[in-house]
Amino acid sequence: MNALPGPLNDNPRLDLWVSFAETGKVVVNTGRVELGQGVLTAMAQIASDELDVDMASVMVRSGVTDNMPNEGYTAGSQSIQMGGQAMAQACADVRALFLEQAAKAIGCNANELTVRGGKFLRNGALSGQDYWTLNGAVDLAVNATGRGQRKAIGERAHIGRNDARTDLPGKLFGEPVFIHDMRLAGMKHARVVRQPNKDATIGAIDEAAIRRAAKGDIAFVRSGDFLAIVGDDEPAVERAGAAAVNHVTWTNVEMPTPLQQEANWLVQRPVIDCLLGSPEPSDAQGRERFEATYSRGYLAHASISPSCGLAEYRDGHLTVWTHCQGVFPLRGALARMLKLDAKAITVHHVQGSGCYGHNGADDATADAAVIAMQMPGTPIRIRWRREEEFVHEPKSPAMLVKVRALLDADGKPSDWTAEIWSGNHNGRPGGGNALLAGYALPDQEPFPQANDVPEAAGGGATRNADPLYDIADKRIIHHMVTETPVRVSALRGLGAMPNVFALECAIDELAGRAGVDPVAYRLSITSDPRARAVIEKVAVMSNWQANASGGAGRGRGIAFSRYKNRAAYAAIIVDLEVDEEIRLHRIWCATDGGLIVNPDGAINQLEGGVIQSASWVLKEQVRLDGGTASFDWETYPVLKFSEVPMIDIVLINPTNSDVPLGVGEATAGPTAAAIGNAVSHALGIRLRDLPLTRERIMAALLQE
Amino acid sequence: MAKTFDFTVNGKPITVTLDNEETPLLDVLRNELGLMGTRFGCGLEQCGCCMALIDGQPEKCCAKPVWSAAGKSITTVEGLGTPALPHPLQQAFLDEQAGQCGYCLSGILISAKALLAKNPSPTRAEIALALDGNICRCGSHNRILRAVEKAAAVMRGIHP
């Protein structure tokens, strides 16, 4: 008997996962939601193989708080690693129960039976029994046991195959697949007059001016410092929402300054300290010392669509529709905020645009719910304005990372310290944190103190700060900054990107000191064979020339990490050109993600991570200047089509494994560091602060 | 004060009556005509999610007042093709699995259609430049570029 995968252990009843109510159809329930990563297709592939049913007969239900496994958040590259394994074992257990029942019904031994297309075959011949004939006789209201035999390598028909995404056609034919496209009978549109910061209180409201700007009928809904505009005509509500910014005064408004947008502002702030590993030695014992400081500013998720949410309160029951990453945690947060019993709330996931973490989705849903509670029987739809999403979505915290290493006689690190200053990476409502509306509503319970993701869950600011290399003594000194100038939370990879940037740039600097080629240097301190394999593979893919001289504005850099030190391995090489700005020419990536359910889907995610990280590194930082000064695509530019390089991605042994490792966030860190290393190779100078903007490059060149 | 506007949408004559002639065309498509394929992204004509062809030109509709489109012919993504009869661009995007969240794809298909009408054999760099007015945040750029190249080749084959 196998230990049950975590989500199956948490939700062991098999009827939560699989049902055969409709003849010829299998409904499987996953607690993971579709965020554009193709997870529902992958779940159908898994269910199809583990149940031996046709993929076309599998219907995947997802993201609702009724009759659904509670898998928390769809996050952390864990949907296949955890959720997929749970789905697979649930299906295997169900198949085993049906095989036992089929054997009884047929009067044979279960080992004489096989399943094909949902039909039970006895010694290869149709037995007349299938999942649906047996459905009444098999009780799935039982707990999983882990006794169901999973499909072995070579027995899989769909796992490991590039099945086409089931969600993509609707998106290409303009179908109303997004939450933004939902329209409910009698629905009203709404916009919130957003509280500028959590302690701000409403002063005066010039309702007449807002009504004039609306040029249509609107009404106001208010609760404490929560103020919203509601009406039937969306353009009128939109105009009113935009105008209201200038016609409502607030007191206790915070005015963050440009100084606060920089990572070095974090040092000397109030912190909660934590040491992971052995204390740092005070005596270098004759070893050479290396020290360098790396940083990154605040990032926005910058989802392509502003957040949207719908809510209806009718007959004492609140129903909401959301594009957030976790319907159960949101239900709990709504119950706390609205003082409702969680049983009186149903949360449905509907697709939105890519979120890459905790964006405004939960908050927009909460806005709609607050308004709906005041207007029983009227469905409310809220869609944030573009500016609102940029300004009020939680940001990925700025981070400052000091690396200190002691080097042995060969110039290899024998002692490693990563000292980190960062806000917390988990402001999600599931942790008891506020939904944005909660800061404005009266009579709210106090919100908990900021708390980062624990190490056991992969860490937040500390994620990937621990080098996978062979280093005798290592530690992380974590200073969690408790108050940040902007609200902070989870963005793709959490601290992995700044930490891998720091660590892998430092490794390159050490290779340079030792006079050893960066690829050879990494291999000389790497024992893990899978880590070696991706580094060696990407070097071959890119035709890496050892000790190639850079300079003259052309450079090449490598970086490696294993995401969370326990998910996918990824090595990246970047070719680029720098004069005043960086032009990416080509990027190669070798990844070992263990078992890959859908290789094309995995490559799409890995490549998306490369491009998003390149955008972060080249362009992105949230500006603060009397408020959040990054409020649209001109003040927060991202990488454009013409700036995206060619990218080659190779998966190592994608089907020759039973254990998926989680790939969705694996490339973000090493891409950032490989770009940093290539820039250094091209210019002969080291830039340690992200983003690598034209201003920073020019300043560094002038200093030379 | 209601005003009436006539235009052609995806080949069909349409008349809408509105109180406010400044209503953005995007709202008319989505809220009056129920054509949800043209998406709202920013309302600032920056991201390209809301693109439609107006008299053959790719235009951002989110801030374009409805009066400015009166009398014109509008093609939205719904007018390109159907699952049964996809436009070569839609088929190529399916073949290349070109997209992740898909929110930007309607606008990108419209931009690409306009490009191929002007330039049936664009280079990859020309395609990229033509799509610079469309933001893709998921990082599906290279797939999208491949899909447009593929569609261009197919369309050259169909209409030599």
Q: How far apart are CA A649 and CA A657, in angstroms?
A: 19
Per-residue pLDDT, A704: 76
Partners of A700 in the beta sheet? none
State the average pLDDT over residues B75-82: 98
Question: Are A644 and B141 in contact (CB < 8 Å)?
Answer: yes
Question: Are B27 and A169 in contact (CB < 8 Å)?
Answer: no
Residues of A in contact with B143 (CB under 8 A): 604, 607
Segments in chain A below pLDDT 70: 1-2
Of A571, A496, A563, nearest to A81 (Cα)?
Answer: A563
Min Cα distance A172 → chain B (Å) is 6
Q: Which residue has the tokens 């009227």?
A: A378
* Residue of B20, B99, B142 with shortest CB distance to A171: B99
Tally Cβ neighbours within 10 Å of residue A202: 17
Residues of A in contact with B82 (CB under 8 A): 173
Domains and CATH numbers, chain A: 6-170 (3.30.365.10), 179-252+303-392 (3.30.365.10), 399-425+460-703 (3.30.365.10)
Q: How far apart are CA B135 and CA A349, in angstroms?
A: 24
Min Cα distance B37 → chain A (Å) is 4
Confidence band, pLDDT 50/70/90 cuts, at residue B158: low
* A648: nearest CA partner in chain B: B142
Burial (0-12, 13-18, 19+ Cβ within 10 Å), A483 = exposed
Asked whether the beta carbons of A398 and A267 are under 8 A apart, the reply is: no
Q: Where are the alpha helices (DSSP H) in A360-467?
A: 361-374, 386-392, 436-440
Confidence band, pLDDT 50/70/90 cuts, at residue B159: very low
Query: Which of A165, A172, A355, A585 has the highest number of chain B CBs within 10 A, making it the mutation to test binding with B?
Result: A172
State the average pLDDT over residues B31-59: 98
Partners of A552 in the beta sheet? none
* B46: nearest CA partner in chain A: A633
Q: How far apart are CA A542 and CA A194, in angstroms?
A: 50
ipTM greater than 0.90: yes
Asked whether the beta carbons of A641 and B136 are under 8 A apart, the reply is: yes
Question: Are A386 and B27 in contact (CB < 8 Å)?
Answer: no
Tell how far CA A301 is from the center of its chain: 10
pLDDT of residue B160 exceeding 60, the answer is no
Question: Are A304 and B100 in contact (CB < 8 Å)?
Answer: no
Question: Are B78 and A385 in contact (CB < 8 Å)?
Answer: no
Sign of the alpha-carbon dihedral angle for B121, B127, B131, B137: positive
Asked whether the beta carbons of A618 and A672 are under 8 A apart, the reply is: no
Q: Which CATH class is domain B3-79?
A: alpha beta
Asked whether the beta carbons of A411 and A516 are under 8 A apart, the reply is: yes
Compute the residue count for chain A: 704
Q: How far apart are CA A266 and CA A421, in angstroms?
A: 6
Q: How far apart are CA A557 and CA A564, in angstroms?
A: 22
Min Cα distance B107 → chain A (Å) is 10
Compute the residue count for chain B: 160
Asked whether the beta carbons of A692 and A675 are under 8 A apart, the reply is: yes
Question: Are A385 and B109 in contact (CB < 8 Å)?
Answer: no
Q: How far apart are CA A468 and CA A60, in angstroms?
A: 37
Q: How far apart are CA A474 and CA A460, in angstroms?
A: 18
Residues of A in contact with B134 (CB under 8 A): 641
Side-by-side strand order, sheet with A569-578: A554-562, A569-578, A582-592, A646-651
DSSP B72: -
Question: Are A305 and B49 in contact (CB < 8 Å)?
Answer: yes
Residues in contact with A49: Cβ distance below 8 Å, sequence separation at least 6, in sequence order: A88, A151, A155, A156, A157, A158, A159
Tokens matching residue B157:
């084959």
Q: How far apart are CA A42 and CA A225, in angstroms?
A: 44
Domain residue ranges in chain B:
3-79, 88-158
Looking at the domain B88-158, which fold is it?
DNA polymerase; domain 1 (1.10.150)
Question: Are A168 and B140 in contact (CB < 8 Å)?
Answer: no
The full 3-state SS of A659-690, as one line of letters, equals CECCCCCCCHHHHHHHHHHHHHHHHCCCCCEE
Side-by-side strand order, sheet with B57-60: B12-18, B3-9, B73-75, B51-54, B57-60
Tokens matching residue B107:
């606008």
Per-residue pLDDT, A7: 96
Tokens matching residue A654:
């994608």
Min Cα distance B24 → chain A (Å) is 8
What is the overall mean pLDDT for chain A? Answer: 96
Q: How far apart are CA B10 and CA B82, in angstroms?
A: 12
Question: Are B104 and A303 in contact (CB < 8 Å)?
Answer: no
Query: Which of A34, A162, A173, A386 has the highest number of chain B CBs within 10 A, making it the mutation to test binding with B?
Result: A173
User: Parallel, antiparallel, or unpaired: how do β-strands A689-690 and B3-9 relate?
Assistant: unpaired
Min Cα distance A633 → chain B (Å) is 6
* Residue of A162, A172, A646 with shortest CB distance to B94: A172
Per-residue pLDDT, A555: 97
Min Cα distance B6 → chain A (Å) is 20
Q: How far apart are CA A305 and CA A188, in angstroms?
A: 20
* Residue of B43, B49, B105 with shortest CB distance to A172: B105
Relative orientation angle of helices A361-374 and A327-338, to the nearest 10 degrees: 40
Question: Are A644 and B142 in contact (CB < 8 Å)?
Answer: yes
Inter-chain CB pairs, A–B, below 8 Å:
178
Residues of B in contact with A617 (CB under 8 A): none
* B62: nearest CA partner in chain A: A235
CA angle A323, A660, A330 (to 5 degrees): 25
Question: Are A177 and B35 in contact (CB < 8 Å)?
Answer: no
Buried b (16+ CB within 10 A) or exposed e, B92-126: bbbebbbbbbbbbbbbbbbbbbbbbeeeeebeeee
Min Cα distance B144 → chain A (Å) is 9
Residues of B in contact with A171 (CB under 8 A): 99, 101-103, 105
* Residue of B131, B139, B145 with shortest CB distance to A609: B139
Min Cα distance B32 → chain A (Å) is 10
* A242: nearest CA partner in chain B: B43
Tell how far CA A613 is from the center of its chain: 13
Question: Are B102 and A36 in contact (CB < 8 Å)?
Answer: yes
SS3 A578: strand
Question: Are A37 and B100 in contact (CB < 8 Å)?
Answer: yes
Buried b (16+ CB within 10 A) or exposed e, A536-556: bbbbebbebeeeeebeeebbb
Tally Cβ neighbours within 10 Å of residue B1: 6
* Residue of A168, A356, A633 with shortest CB distance to B135: A633
Question: Are B78 and A174 in contact (CB < 8 Å)?
Answer: yes
Asked whether the beta carbons of A34 and A62 are under 8 A apart, the reply is: yes
